Structure 1
């Protein structure tokens, strides 16, 4: 059994990206980080010449033809954004830029400003042409933002790159998106140990340890990007219907799934549904599992066949 790991890191996508292998392989590491950088350049809204920025720049003017990979991701984001009661909306860009949460100039906008920007966030105002891979935002000022699913998509692509290079035991960590390949060589049961952060912890304490193999673990939480004004906390997970940060009983949602893209999508959707509705949804979708961390310091686990959880925090309880 292998008993030592080799961790490689780079700062990409605004976070520290790490790849853990159990045999050193500089060639594969180079391919992985090169792949991540290429995809980041295509998908980000923080690059002047990315494909997504080209679409946004042409809003209200004309369609933009993009690569098949980018179109496929946009198509998935579009479908999820149109799901009934979906808190996921990839056309939320104008609101994100208005609030600037987590960035310089963050503010609580006026009700009128929020109303005006909401008019530019309707995914029904987006036209997709699968034949030509063209994307058209009908209104000037509209902006799509793939930030909510780009990490998941990229993590899944990295997994394919590793498998193509005959690596079947590894951990990919894209900062909030952790994807495990195969079984851990360090555990007799083959489980990888993934830490779940304690929300708002000053010293990165953990709520608990998630044990999985060959699964994705994605967490969305209100502690990731936020600011406080007049004793009220404003976080980055928006209600697409109101334009304000969602306000419910949850501090974080962690989704355990087969793909990281699913994790990205459903961590947002389940957070928006709240614990009760999300639990009902998950019962009908046993391929997905979730860990809900509540503001009342309790933790709820749903569909535990896909993972094990060990509570380590004294601040939280399992009912």
Structure 2
């Protein structure tokens, strides 16, 4: 590796995750600007701060519309559109149920059925009313909440990519903890592509099923192993089915989406999780710009296609179907 190929890594903790930025120029000032951009977006979009625009909407649920900034309105519109698709597992109004389960946040019990059913009544995305004229958002029922967490990381990863491009950066990687967005390739690798690990479910943090190689693409993975608890021999994970209010139960351990935009990765990992392998593959056949890797409970690694990436299997417990 020549001195020109040296990679410089910068890190911070934002969005509740370790954030990693890789550049091929030593530029602490640029890295600081990237992290500042992420922090600004976190303040704008989070539900973990009492005074964000999103929390203003939630506080006014059942009472009055709230006018928000154009970027927040557009992101809410995007999340709503994905949420109202027929049979969609993506639901940005599912917050009340997520809070009740508390999976990944000391939650270790199954809520009573009556509570789940009562909360389900507060998770209908059709009850989010958007007014394009004044950029207002109204939650029709008191107790409703919207949460952009399922889409915010992808949105921010794409903003960082666009910002780096504006700054003249040709090759870089930003990892927002599950959302990886890349510019160009990796000069420090033999293939010239970025190698992104596909995690082995329910294993150590450094154990991989394989490596996905991409250039200028986003890689987003969602898995049932990320947050869960076990009770009476049954595992309850954080991916809730908005139709039932319970964790989704199908053949999948993880879904990875390879696409140009990371926000698409956020949306499609969730949509495809709900579809399962067979329907997911059929759905993607008409969408060549989106590719996916499905990992199943019986150890299969299934790719919808491989035009935008290459995959190298590393773990003998799994096999490519």
TM-score, with normalisation over the residues of structure 1?
0.98
Counterpart among 293, 296, 299 of residue 295 in structure 2 = 293
1:123 equivalent to 2:157? Answer no
2:172 is matched with 170
Q: Shift in Å at residue 204 of structure 1?
A: 2.5
- Rounded to whole Å, the distance in 1 between the matches of 2:320 and 2:283 is 21
Give 5+ residue unaligned stretches, structure 2.
Answer: none
Q: Shift in Å at residue 53 of structure 1?
A: 0.8
Say if 2:97 and 2:245, in contact at 8 Å, map to a contact too. yes
Alignment of 1:129-278 (within 5 A): 129-278=131-280
Say if 1:288 and 1:303, in contact at 8 Å, map to a contact too. no
1:30 is matched with 32
1:90 is matched with 92
2:18 is matched with 16
1:56 is matched with 58
Secondary structure of residue in 1 paired with 2:240:
coil
- Rounded to whole Å, the distance in 2 between the matches of 1:282 and 1:190 is 27
- Rounded to whole Å, the distance in 2 between the matches of 1:60 and 1:290 is 39
TM-score, with normalisation over the residues of structure 2?
0.97
1:78 equivalent to 2:80? Answer yes
Q: Shift in Å at residue 81 of structure 1?
A: 0.6
- Rounded to whole Å, the distance in 1 between the matches of 2:276 and 2:309 is 21
- Rounded to whole Å, the distance in 2 between the matches of 1:126 and 1:276 is 31
- Rounded to whole Å, the distance in 2 between the matches of 1:292 and 1:114 is 29
- Rounded to whole Å, the distance in 2 between the matches of 1:175 and 1:153 is 13
**Per-residue CA distance 1:24-70 (angstroms, 9 max, x = gap):** 11221111100100100111111111111111010001011111111
Give 5+ residue unaligned stretches, structure 1.
Answer: none
**Per-residue CA distance 1:188-225 (angstroms, 9 max, x = gap):** 54211111100010353000000110000000000011
2:112 is matched with 110
- Rounded to whole Å, the distance in 1 between the matches of 2:21 and 2:31 is 8
Say if 1:282 and 1:303, in contact at 8 Å, map to a contact too. no
- Rounded to whole Å, the distance in 2 between the matches of 1:38 and 1:20 is 20
Provide runs of 4+ in structure 1 moved above 6 Å. Answer: none
1:281 is matched with 283
Number of residue equivalences: 319
C-alpha RMSD of the superposition: 1.0
Say if 1:95 and 1:117, in contact at 8 Å, map to a contact too. yes
2:304 is matched with 302
Secondary structure of residue in 2 paired with 1:9:
strand
Q: Shift in Å at residue 232 of structure 1?
A: 0.8
Residues 203 and 148 of structure 1: CA distance in aligned 2, closer, same or farther (over 3 Å): closer
Say if 2:292 and 2:303, in contact at 8 Å, map to a contact too. yes
- Rounded to whole Å, the distance in 2 between the matches of 1:229 and 1:105 is 11
Secondary structure of residue in 2 paired with 1:121:
coil
- Rounded to whole Å, the distance in 1 between the matches of 2:51 and 2:109 is 27
1:40 is matched with 42
1:65 is matched with 67
